[in-house]
Amino acid sequence: MRRSRPLRWLPLAPATVVLLLFLAGPIVYCVYIAFTDMQLTGQESTSFVGLANFRRAFADHDFLNAVVLTLVFTLVSTVLGHNLLGLSLAGLMRRASKPVRTVTGAVVICAWVVPEIVAGFLLYTFFERRGTLNALLDWLHLPTQNWLFTLPVLAVSLANVWRGTAFSMLLYSAALSDIPTEITESAEVDGATGRQRLWHITLPMIRRSIGTNLMLNTLQTLSVFGLIWAMTRGGPGNRSQTLPVFMYDQAFMKALIGYGTAVALLLLLVGALFSAVYLRLLREEV
């Protein structure tokens, strides 16, 4: 005897209730807060202000500066850093000896598993004025500077590359191992150079892996907070204040929960736009 349609969905009811309470509920409440003037302190009642928080954001020079810095941080970290370095390491490790692969893989993966806040303090001691980088430059008789003051965005971007390249390396290693060796060997016999094999064989065959890696790393990079907060706290001034740091500053340091939540929704929109572009690129060509 066939069960009725409501009974077939009954086993999913507990999971559905949990998702509604602990996932959908907070999301809906955050959306509501973004349209209010809610503050952490010094407020007797909360009022609905409509789109005022969003209009304030687009008129706020600090918010626009945070958007630009977030895009620069994402471009340097994800597009140029994680992907190029991860693909290069994956390609080199395929040709390296087993001891070299073991040591390199262990070093890169150790950087990946380090907690974000710990990585931030480690890289702070590396880029700080009296840190490791300047000590090496001084030993080589090269000019030194306070990297966290003169080039804060570049410093936090390189720190994020150091920490997150392992994921790209592992993903590309798996993708490269799936390329049939007969294809590359045939191209090599036909006289194709290494650059030609890379451009016409390797990259087209791992196109979907590249798109997936770009999307996942971009979404992760857009949400980086602890690393930047530990290294610069968005400074000096606001020269490394990305959107997550700006959102935290407005919501918790200045107690403007409504405005900070509106910024969080705009950050969510930025991530959605990146995802839409990458998903478009991931479609099969007709």
In a domain, 271, yes or no: yes
Residue 252 has pLDDT above 70, yes or no: yes
The pLDDT, as a whole number, for residue 1 is: 46
Residue 232 domain-assigned (yes or no): yes
Q: How far apart are CA 178 and CA 192, in angstroms?
A: 20
Structural domain containing residue 185: 63-282
Residue 213 lies in a domain: yes
Inside any domain, residue 53? no
Q: How many domains does the chain have?
A: 1
The pLDDT value given to residue 284: 57
What is the pLDDT at residue 2?
54
The predicted pLDDT at position 286 comes to 40
**174 in a structural domain:** yes
User: Distance of CA 101 to CAs 35, 105, 110, 263, 285, Å?
Assistant: 53, 6, 14, 43, 35
Give the pLDDT of residue 7. 67
pLDDT tier at 40, thresholds 50, 70, 90: confident
Residue 37 located in a structural domain: no
Please indicate, yes or no, if residue 49 is contained in any of the structural domains. Answer: no
Check residue 46 and give its pLDDT.
85
Average pLDDT over residues 272-277: 85
Confidence of residue 182 (pLDDT cuts 50, 70, 90): confident
**pLDDT one-digit tens code per residue, 125-173:** 999 988 899 999 999 999 888 899 999 999 999 999 998 888 888 888 8
Assess if residue 9 is contained within a domain.
no
Q: How many CB atoms lie within 10 A of CB 188?
A: 14
Q: Is the pLDDT confidence value at 19 over 70?
A: yes
Instruction: Tell me the CATH number at 257.
Output: 1.10.3720.10
Question: How many Å apart are CA 166 and CA 133, to the nearest integer?
Answer: 22
pLDDT 10s digits, 71-96: 999 999 988 888 899 888 888 888 87
What percentage of residues in the chain have a pLDDT greater than 90? 38
What's the mean pLDDT in 189-218? 83
Encode 258-286 in three state secondary structure.
HHHHHHHHHHHHHHHHHHHHHHHHHCCCC
In this prediction, residues 190-215 reach a mean pLDDT of 82
- Tokens of residue 74, six digits: 């994402």
Average pLDDT, integer, range 220-235 = 92
CB 179 within 8 A of CB 202: yes
Contact 216, 279 (CB under 8 A): no
